[in-house]
Structure 1
Amino acid sequence: MQCLLVFMLIVLLLLCFSICEAFECEFDAENHQFKVADTIRVDQSGKGDFKTVQKAIDSIPSNNKKWIRILISPGVFREKVTIPCDKPCIFLEGAGRLLTRIEWNSHMRTCDSATLTSFPDSIVAKGITFKV
């Protein structure tokens, strides 16, 4: 009986370690800043790589370990943004908190109405206002 219990515990531990993966994004320790590997531009007028923030996020490869900057032009982006757990190392950079706004006019339950939902820990946002 003890052998079976030990075996089940080992299998459970192996499953946990194979499912859970910690993402460490590249960091320049010498200059104390993160290294941006690529920049994706979002502009509603079509002058960027994408017209929506979500499309830019969707374009990032799964399990990315390099910082990707999503540079968001001034404007009001009416969209619901979700960053899935397999898309870490994202730096959302707007043109300024008064110039770049992402809003989603939802009056549903609190758990369904978030304008930005981010599952990975390694997400940075700067110069953006998020409004419900």
Structure 2
Amino acid sequence: MRKQIDGLALLVQEAMALNPFDQALFLFGDRQRDKVKLLFWERNGFVVWYKRLERERFKWPTNLKDETMTLTGQELNWLLNGYNSKAMKPHEALYFQWVGYPYPSCFRDVFGTLSGMKNTASSSPTVTQLKRKLAAADAENL
């Protein structure tokens, strides 16, 4: 999904033959079905909303007669929440503690090169080790 505001607005106008300034949301999905972008005009500028799934895929409507379709607000929410229309079950909620693997970048400053540890799950520091190192770093900065 490389297109940004201008590219998406042109797709709406040229390929879909619709007015991107209408009071409407235009939803675009990628081939892998794990990313979507919403484009809409709000008073004085375009807004793009982007969602990337960490696991699973969006359940895109099938058997479309046209290239475009109209969704109700509830149908849009179902799509964005990952509801499978057959099972009426949303995607599993995911709870992460930080972005990055295997630890946040702020810990790299505390650990330096992480004492020569390799980036493998088996050599990753435990949460307790990280808390101790952070507490020690905080004590040094007082």
TM-score, normalising length: structure 2: 0.21
Higher strand proportion (structure 1 or 2)? 1
Larger Rg: 2
Higher helix proportion (structure 1 or 2)? 2
Q: Whose relative contact order is higher, 1 or 2, with alpha carbons under 8 Å and at least 6 apart?
A: 1
